[in-house]
Every structure is written in structure tokens, then in C-alpha cells.
Structure 1
Amino acid sequence: MPELRQDPMTREWVVIATERAKRPDAFQGQGEKRRSVSLGSQREKCPFCEGNESTTPPEIVAYRKAGAAANTPGWWVRVVPNLYPSLKTEGNCERRQIDNFFRMMDGVGAHEVIIESPEHSDTIGAIDDRMAEEIVMMYLDRFLDLKKDRRFENITCFRNRGGLAGASLLHPHSQIIATPMVPGLLRRRLEMAFRYYDDHGKCVYCAMIETELAEGKRVVMANEEFVVFEPFASRVPFETWIVPKEHCSAFEAIPRAHGKALGRTLNAALGLLHRKLNDPDYNYVVRTEPLREDHSSYFHWSVHILPRLTTAAGFEMGSGMYINPMPPETAAEFLRS
């Protein structure tokens, strides 16, 4: 019997189509689709490979060997402006009315690329933990630096892995976009978190962690700092969340030691997907509170991983509801096995 499940974070409903469910291993081999897409895999042509620094915009910052000059080899994590930015730092944040109805403003913001390794074939999930720690350390450094620009209200850090997830280059990289407003989806999550706090007197994410750890059937792994699980109302097969056990609303506020622990946990979680599902395409995003607002009583930062194993179609577009053919309990059991 199919099930309708509600996401406690957004109150959106998801269809868990149990009668359409596939065996978990039926999703293996999806990574071959990414490798069959032309993504500029030749190292000599890749602008992100070490030795090709002159083909990118001048770097913003890099972790590099002592004495190595900027925009030269000798780095292990490097940040550059996106060559084709969605938003630019020039302009002002004045909102204007157009045709006495519509609102607009200059496309002010920041769009950066975090090149995660000088090696073309490295990727989180198949690297050593120290490298993964350094990537998350750079996330934190960029959050803290961009937060200094008072025009920016929100920062989104994300990773697109593979052509099905929207990546245009195979070389491992993440992106950060700072915007002068709070996106509507985040605003809704904040509102739902506040409603739960107002009704129950506690953070909905903390309550969810307690429930998931007590039940255990959707938990993939857990360590001292984080819980990794398949959410109850998973939108897609093998949707995976990484949530800190310690309550904290702002990603950039975490201790450096917790940032390193996130790197190790992210590496382990993506490693499972890499091995069990044959390196699938995926997106992940760091969800955190807005830069200029305090939601510390009831919001909780987290990382959400969405493998690209199914395709959203007409029903999803028309209703906003997802149909997921893989129960999260089955997905978690498969990843644990």
C-alpha cells in the first residue's frame, strides 16, 4: 500500500510508492550515466587542474604550500570567482518597482567556486579524511569572509556532482552563492521550525534526531558529532541528511573541530553512496540560518544530499509533491549492510 508521509520541517507531503519500489541494488550503475556525458575530462584542458591556474579568474584565496605565489601550482584547495557568475559584487541592493507591479533589483551577490583538489579525479567520498576536512574548513572560511559584506543576507553552499546534477566540469568543486535576500524556501523552513518550537517548546531538528536514534531503522551511521540518516519523508531514493547532534542554527558558528568532523562524516556518507550505488550523480547543500537573523532557539543547520536516481515529472511539477519509489527504511538498511 502506498504511503503519504509529511516532512516535519516543511509540512510538505511525499508519496512513498511502495508498490512501485525497486530493489535497492537496481539503482546501481547510475553513475555510468555521468561518465557517459562529456564533462571535459581531459586534464590538459581542465581549468581547475593544477598547472592551469591562468585559465581561471584570479584566485580569492587558497590553501597552498608556504612560499607558493597566488595563481600558481602548490595549492590543495583553491577558491576563484565563477567565470559565469549568477550574481556579481557590483551594484546596489535598492529594490525598484517596474510597471507599477513587479519588483526588481541589481543582481548583487557573490558566486565563488571552491576547487577541492588539484587532482582531476579526486572527489569527496573517495579521498582521505584530511582532504575532506580541508574542504569543509574552506567552506567555513568563505562563510565568515562573505558575512563581512553587510549587503549579503544569505549564503548557500552546494555541490553538483555529475551531469545529471547540473555539473559542467568533472573536476571536483563546490560553489558558494551569497544573496542580498533570504530565499523563500529557507523562509518557509524557518517559519515551520518556529511553529514547532512554539507548539512544543523545543527544536524540531533536535526532536527528529532523538526519534531517529531511538528508532534506528533510518539511521545509516552516527558518531560523536553527527547523525546520518534517510529522512522519514524522503523525496528521492537515498536522500541522506547529516545533522549535528549539538544544537546550532548557523553553520559558520561551529567550532573548527566540528567542521573537521563534518568533513570526515561527509566523506564517509558519500563514500557509502559511491560504493553502494556506483558513484551516482548527486547534489548536496548546506542548510543554515540567514546571516543577519537570529533563529538560534529553534533552527538547526544541516547538510542534505540528493542523489539523482529518478526524474521529476509532471506530477511533481504540478503538485510540488514528490513520488519516491524507495522507502527510506529500505535505503538505510541497504547502506548499512
Structure 2
Amino acid sequence: MPEIRYNIVTREWVIIATERARRPEEFAQANPRRGKTEAYVATCPFCPGNEHLTPPETMRLPEEGPWHVRAMPNKFAALDANASLVRRGTGMRRTITGAGIHEVIVETPLHDRTMALLEPREFERVIEAYRSCYERVTDDPRVAHATLFKNHGERAGTSLEHPHSQIVGTPIIPPRVRERMEIALRFYDEAGHCIICSTVEDELSDGARVVEENSDLVAFIPFAALTPFHLWIMPKRHTATFLEATDGELESLSRMLRSVLRRFHFGLENPDYNVSVRTPPREANGLKYYHWYVSFVPRVTRTAGFEIGSGMFINTALPEKSAEFLRGVKTEA
């Protein structure tokens, strides 16, 4: 019979529809366009030689010679990097000028190379770029919070095929970030310890939903995963913000995230997905009740009327079975 599970980190109830459940491999979705892309596309602004088609870069790795990773302002930015921050409000109407930073991080010179297929050192450079960009963006006094994310595939919202991530620095702390922090603070007040640390301990103790772990992190399907194969990567050491991660922890993150992406690439035929770094704002460095983690959401199902109308999710994949399936996927072709 169906089971309704509670996600203590998000305070959401999820219907695990076991009677509608599909076998894990049935979530694989063939995409006829994949595998037909050239390594270089003359009209792509992110391909080498087309740097003049993008705004001036803000970062590149390495700094000299041909680039492997580069960042630049988004040509169609959601926020204006040159605007002053001004708040206005009368009665029920409040506005803030759209001041902020919106940049693109191009992950590789190769147009046809998905992030899952990057070599280990190439992947490390992407994570290095993440930290570099996050530190620079959050240095801006107008930025209250920065969101690092990657959209892979049309279902995930990508508009350009060339592999890239994005970072958006907003003048406000987004409501969902505030909500998660408030949930964590309430848990800390009641239990006396960090909600993320407690989640990591619980998942490692149970083991049924763990996909893989290393000395610094653990990847697992949450007990109340919102959608099929929804996965979290959480640090074992209490580390409040992304900027507090050590070089060693970021190297571990690079290895683990690459491995996770390859499990999905080979196990579910390279599905569309969203990855985001969930972190408190930079000013929360040293915070005791919450810490950063990575959220991975493959787009193997569609959100429909019930989810929109109720705010609840129906998950047609048993989290324990999803984790078991991913553990069995070979990460080398």
C-alpha cells in the first residue's frame, strides 16, 4: 500500500506511491538528439574562438594559455550588475531594484562533452571555478545570497547545449533558503544539534539509501525523496557555508559528484537534471545549526496538477530501490 513519508529537512510530506511504482530502469528515457553533437559548433558563443560573442570573462582556468573553464556575465542576465540597490515600498507594494550578478560558468571547451564525461582533472577545475566564482560574487556588497546551479537538458530548463553552470547573486536571501534555515534552527533548538549532521548520521546508520560515500561526504536518496532518484550529497564534517569547505573536501566533492553523474549517465541514459549547491549566505560562516549540501534532481517525471495544487509530491520510485539501482551502475563505460 502507499506510504506517506515526512522529509524532516524540508518539512514536506511525500506520497511514496508503491502501487504505481516503476522499476528503476524504467525511468531511463532515450533522447534521439544525444550523441549527435559536434565537438565544435561555429555558432556557439561558448566554443573556443567565439569568445567575442560573449561579454568579457570574469575568470578563467588556467589563467594563461588555452582555457579549460571560463566564466562571464550572462548575456541575458536576470539581474543588472551595474545597478544600484534601492528599496521602495508603499502600503502592500514593495520593490527592490534588480541589482545583482548573473554569470555563466562554461565547464569545458568541448561542445559535445557532458559534465558526466569530463576527466577527473577537468571536473576538479569546474569545482575550483565554482568556489572562485562564489567567493567573488558574494564579495559584492549588494549580494545577500548566491545560488550555484546547473541545468542539463531541455526538461531542466537549459537554453544552450554547450555544458555550463550558472551563478546568481541576489540582493535578498531567497524565501526557500530562509525557510530551510528556519526549519534547521527550530530543529537545533529542540534537539540540540544540526539537522544536516543528524541526517548524515541517520542515513549512514541505516545504509539502505546510501549510494556511495568517501572520507568527507555521503551521497544518498533521502528517506522522503520528493521525486524519483532525488539525491543529496552532504558533507560529514559540520561546515556551515560552501566557502568553509576545505580544499580536500572540494576534491572529494569533485570525485563524488562526477561519480554520481556517471551513475545517472550510464544507468538512466543521461537524463535531464538540475544540480544546485544549497548553502546559507556567506555571513552565516560558523553557523552551528545548518550546513551546505548539494541537491541533484533528475527530470524523469513531470510535475502535474496534484503537485501544483497541493504542494505535495508523489514519488513513484521507492527510495531504497532507487539507491540499490544506482549502487549497481558501473561508473566506467
Number of matched pairs? 328
Give the CA RMSD over aligned residues: 1.8
| TM-score normalised by structure 1 residue count | 0.93
Matches within 5 A, 1:265-304: 265-294=256-285, 296-304=287-295
CA-to-aligned-CA distance 1:266-306 (integer Å, 9 cap, x gap): 10011101110000000010000112345610101000000
The 8 Å contact of residues 17 and 325 in structure 1, kept in 2 or not, is answered as yes
Aligned residue in 1 for 2:53? 55
Pick aligned residue for 1:176 from 132, 149, 167: 167
Q: Aligned equivalents of 2:24 and 2:276: distance in 1?
A: 24
Q: Aligned equivalents of 1:199 and 1:103: distance in 2?
A: 35
Q: Aligned equivalents of 2:9 and 2:38: distance in 1?
A: 38
Aligned residue in 2 for 1:46? 44
Aligned residue in 2 for 1:26? 26
By how many angstroms is 1:199 displaced?
0.7
**2-11 vs 278-287, which deviates more?**
2-11
User: 2:31 is paired with a residue of what secondary structure?
Assistant: helix
CA gap 1:124/1:9 in 2 versus in 1, 3 angstroms: same
Q: Aligned equivalents of 1:246 and 1:20: distance in 2?
A: 38
By how many angstroms is 1:45 displaced?
1.5
The 8 Å contact of residues 211 and 324 in structure 2, kept in 1 or not, is answered as yes
The 8 Å contact of residues 282 and 305 in structure 1, kept in 2 or not, is answered as yes
Q: Aligned equivalents of 2:231 and 2:11: distance in 1?
A: 18
Q: Aligned equivalents of 2:200 and 2:32: distance in 1?
A: 34
User: 1:292 is paired with a residue of what secondary structure?
Assistant: helix
Matches within 5 A, 1:143-154: 143-154=134-145
By how many angstroms is 1:162 displaced?
0.4
Aligned residue in 2 for 1:90? 82
CA gap 1:220/1:277 in 2 versus in 1, 3 angstroms: same
CA gap 1:249/1:293 in 2 versus in 1, 3 angstroms: closer
Which amino acid in structure 1 is aligned with residue 70 of structure 2? R
The answer to whether residue 181 in structure 2 is matched with residue 186 in structure 1 is no
By how many angstroms is 1:58 displaced?
1.1
Which amino acid in structure 2 is aligned with residue 7 of structure 1? N
The 8 Å contact of residues 39 and 170 in structure 1, kept in 2 or not, is answered as no
Matches within 5 A, 1:252-271: 252-271=243-262
By how many angstroms is 1:128 displaced?
1.4
CA gap 1:76/1:289 in 2 versus in 1, 3 angstroms: same
Aligned residue in 2 for 1:76? 68
Q: Aligned equivalents of 2:93 and 2:252: distance in 1?
A: 45
By how many angstroms is 1:263 displaced?
1.1
Where do 5+ consecutive residues of structure 2 fail to align?
Answer: 329-333
Q: Aligned equivalents of 2:159 and 2:71: distance in 1?
A: 17
Aligned residue in 2 for 1:129? 120
Pick aligned residue for 2:237 from 233, 237, 246: 246
Q: Aligned equivalents of 2:115 and 2:266: distance in 1?
A: 12
Q: Aligned equivalents of 1:41 and 1:184: distance in 2?
A: 40
Aligned residue in 2 for 1:71? none
CA gap 1:31/1:10 in 2 versus in 1, 3 angstroms: same
Q: Aligned equivalents of 1:21 and 1:214: distance in 2?
A: 26
The answer to whether residue 227 in structure 2 is matched with residue 236 in structure 1 is yes
By how many angstroms is 1:184 displaced?
0.5
User: 1:111 is paired with a residue of what secondary structure?
Assistant: strand
The 8 Å contact of residues 37 and 111 in structure 2, kept in 1 or not, is answered as no
Misfit runs of 4+, over 4 Å:
38-42
Pick aligned residue for 1:315 from 303, 306, 320: 306
CA-to-aligned-CA distance 1:140-182 (integer Å, 9 cap, x gap): 0111112221111100000000011000111110000000110
The 8 Å contact of residues 289 and 295 in structure 1, kept in 2 or not, is answered as no
